[in-house]
Structure 1
Amino acid sequence: MNIDQQIQTLVNDAPDPVAKQAVQAVAPMIKAIAERLKQLEYYILQAQQQGWLTTTLSSRQQPETSKRVIYAFPTLQAAAEGQAAFADPNLMALPHPVAHILFQMLSMQPVDSVIFLEPNARGQGIEIRRSDLKMLFRNQLQQLKRPSVPPDIA
């Protein structure tokens, strides 16, 4: 499924007309971010009957500073290698469309970022911070709320 189809699925799955309009408003930003990434879908580790696996990262320079991230793997093989680090047989890797991951980030309250790992990047990834995405979406939705009144109205 290409990015436009992924976004259309998000629009179609919106629970009501207001949510549908909100998804349509942020769709250009989702598409722009998704196009910067190399994959159309990523594999995310999760335990059965639970949500996506989060990892807490701490700063080496400031150990008291930490953040919770989700790793998005580019292939099933990369996810399997990532899964081996956790030594948990209940974990499984499931594919998710990139546009859906970006959209779902808004509701992942304890998560600070998703790190999209790319093929052959040797542990390097593209970090998308939830706070940045939330701010972009909020600004776009506020523009939707503004009335479009011509400046020369009497």
Structure 2
Amino acid sequence: MDLDRQIKVLIDEAPQDGVTPQVVAAVAPVLVLLAGRLRHLEYYILQNLDRDWVVTTLSDRANSKVTKRVIYAFPTLADVSAVAVSEQDPEIVASPLPVTHILFQLFALETVDSIIFFDTPGDLNRGTDIQRRELQKLIKLQMQPRSTPASPFNQIPPDIA
């Protein structure tokens, strides 16, 4: 499913409360921008049976007190198998999700710092880190009212008559 179709599905499946579909439509350019940094339209996310995403806490090697909570997004099911999490815990499953849906969820995941998208099948050493903070910043910029160019009618001097 291409990015435009993914956005349409996000809007259509949003709660029809009179606000949420418009918010999704407003932030869609940010989701498409970030998805454009990635190579795949769909990624596998590890989830428990309640459909909660599996969060991994990483520690800084130089300072173990510095941690980062991430979610991994895998390009293929074979890459998920390479981490063997599902073999260790039968209650963990990998679900394919559209990339824009993953990014939209990141905005709401307050306990997660970023999602690491592995773009090259078979290579789990390098990924693209999309930080929640960056996503929030871009959405905030997108949601700010735009100033419109001055209309020639606004430039008429008040004492013209």
TM-score by length of 1: 0.89
Deviates more, 1:28-37 or 1:60-69: 28-37
- SS of the equivalent of 2:125 reads coil
Query: Contact 2:73–2:115 (CA<8 Å) still a contact in 1?
Result: yes
Query: Contact 1:83–1:91 (CA<8 Å) still a contact in 2?
Result: no
Query: Contact 1:11–1:23 (CA<8 Å) still a contact in 2?
Result: yes
Query: Contact 1:45–1:83 (CA<8 Å) still a contact in 2?
Result: no
Query: Contact 1:80–1:93 (CA<8 Å) still a contact in 2?
Result: no
**Aligned residue number for residue 133 of structure 1:** 135
Shift of 1:121: 3.1
User: How many residue pairs get matched?
Assistant: 152
**Aligned residue number for residue 92 of structure 1:** 93
Distance 1:142 1:37 in 2: 26
Deviates more, 1:69-78 or 1:87-96: 87-96
Query: Contact 1:44–1:95 (CA<8 Å) still a contact in 2?
Result: yes
- Does residue 4 in structure 1 map to residue 4 in structure 2? yes
- SS of the equivalent of 2:29 reads helix
Question: How big is each residue's C-alpha offset from its partner over 1:99-150, in whole Å with a ceiling of 9 and x where there is no partner?
Answer: 000001111110000000122434210000001101110121122xx67595
Residue identity opposite 1:33 in structure 2: L
Query: Contact 2:14–2:21 (CA<8 Å) still a contact in 1?
Result: yes
Residue identity opposite 1:18 in structure 2: V
Percent same amino acid at aligned positions? 43
**Aligned residue number for residue 114 of structure 2:** 113
Structure with max Cα Rg: 2
Q: CA RMSD in A?
A: 2.1
142 and 63 in structure 1: CA distance in 2 versus 1, 3 angstrom threshold? same
TM-score by length of 2: 0.85
Shift of 1:18: 2.1
52 and 83 in structure 1: CA distance in 2 versus 1, 3 angstrom threshold? farther
Distance 1:85 1:47 in 2: 10
Shift of 1:85: 8.0
- Does residue 37 in structure 1 map to residue 38 in structure 2? yes
Structure 1: 5+ residue runs without aligned partners? Answer: none
Structure 2: 5+ residue runs without aligned partners? Answer: none
